[in-house]
Amino acid sequence: MDEYQMLSIQTLLLRKQIKELSQQARYKENPELLKSIPGIGTLTSMILLTEIGDVNRFAGLNELSAYFGLIPNCHDSGEIKRVGRNTKRGNEYLKYILVEVSWMSIRYDSSLLLTYKSAVRKMDSNKAIIKVARKLLNRVRFVLKNKKPYQVNMA
């Protein structure tokens, strides 16, 4: 058996385990709520749920965004405050996942596409997609806090 076949089998087994995990009582309701957001599927919803845990442990969107590494780096020196690039702090894996989901989401959600298009006029596409990712994270937070499915083009 070559390495490719072995990795394919392992991938299938992991997907099956994730699907089984999503059917447990602890994760039963929330994956379906998150899957109502365009671009988020079973795998992404389970990753987000296991990494975020209880969304109420974050005081607000800024704290959750910091956890994901979606906030700008800030340098304070006395009276001088400089805001720089996005911080290297936070969970890089989660940031990567959310950015990839954001690329998918702008295809299916016109309000996110509008956010992206207006941001890309002022900055390059990689920075613009971070703005979309932060907006998408706000939607994830709203869905998890309110236990209501997301409705496309309503926010």
pLDDT in tens, the chain (155 residues): 688 888 888 888 988 887 787 777 666 778 888 999 999 988 898 889 888 888 899 998 888 888 888 876 555 556 655 545 555 566 788 889 999 999 999 999 899 999 999 999 998 888 899 999 999 999 999 999 999 998 876 64
Contacts 24+ apart (CB under 8 A), 141-147: 141/55, 141/58, 141/61, 141/64, 143/33, 143/34, 143/36, 143/37, 144/30, 144/33, 144/34, 144/52, 144/55, 145/55, 145/56, 147/29, 147/33
Among residues 132, 153, 145, 136, the alpha carbon closest in space to that of 33 is found at: 145
- Residue 153, pLDDT score: 65
Residue 102: the pLDDT is 94
Predicted pLDDT at 3: 86
pLDDT at 144: 92
CA separation for the pair 6, 42 (Å, rounded): 23
What are the C-alpha distances in Å from 21 to residues 26, 47, 60? 9, 11, 28
In this structure, how many other beta carbons lie within 10 angstroms of the beta carbon of residue 71? 20
Q: What are the residue boundaries of the structural domains of the chain, listed by start?
A: 31-146
What local confidence, expressed as pLDDT, does residue 40 receive? Answer: 92
pLDDT of the residue at 117 = 94
Question: What is residue 94's predicted lDDT score, i.e. its pLDDT?
Answer: 86
* Total residues found in the chain within this entry: 155
